[in-house]
């Protein structure tokens, strides 16, 4: 499990087996399928490349941290079940081309994943 950080270097989530988990390690926020980032919707909200989570417009939502957690979440089985449910809702798996920008989004990473495309303008 590896931490995911915001623009201040604070841990805002974790990546475990391609599942994006909240910082408390209690809930699934999204999935990383290939390089596509999925939140609670059925279509990708962005792309992951160069250790960076980006929206479709190229702005930065979060970055991969360098803290590796050697243990699994205590509720791993529940997280896998929730991730599977999210995966079954995916309808659009066409990953788009994204041009990198240096700008960070205004909204937190978790909000982008929860709201899917609703926050794309923030």
Q: Domain spans of the chain?
A: 2-116
Q: What pTM did the predictor assign?
A: 0.90
Higher-confidence residue of 18 and 94: namely 18
Q: What is the pLDDT of residue 38?
A: 93
List pLDDT tens digits, range 31-45: 999 999 999 888 899
Residue 28 pLDDT greater than 60, yes or no: yes
Higher-confidence residue of 43 and 55: namely 55
Q: What is the pLDDT of residue 116?
A: 53
Q: What is the pLDDT of residue 115?
A: 72
Q: What is the 3-state secondary structure (H, E, C) of the chain?
A: CEEEECCCCCEEEEEECCEEEECCCCCEEEEEECCEEECCCCCEEEEEECCEEEECCCCEEEEEEEEECCCCCCCHHHHHHHHHHHHHCCCCCCCCCCCCCCCECCCCHHHHHHHHHHHCCC
């Amino acid at each position: 499990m590896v931490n995911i950080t915001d623009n201040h270097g604070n841990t805002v989530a974790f990546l475990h087996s391609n599942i994006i988990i909240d910082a408390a390690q209690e809930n699934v926020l999204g999935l990383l399928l290939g390089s596509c980032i999925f939140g609670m919707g059925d279509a990708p909200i962005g792309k992951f490349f160069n250790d960076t989570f980006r929206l479709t417009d190229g702005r930065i939502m979060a970055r991969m941290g360098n803290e590796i957690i050697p243990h699994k979440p205590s509720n791993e089985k529940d997280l896998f079940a929730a991730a599977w449910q999210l995966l079954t809702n995916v309808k659009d798996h066409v990953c788009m081309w994204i041009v990198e920008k240096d700008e960070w989004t205004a909204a937190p990473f978790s909000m982008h994943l929860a709201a899917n495309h609703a926050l794309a303008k923030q």
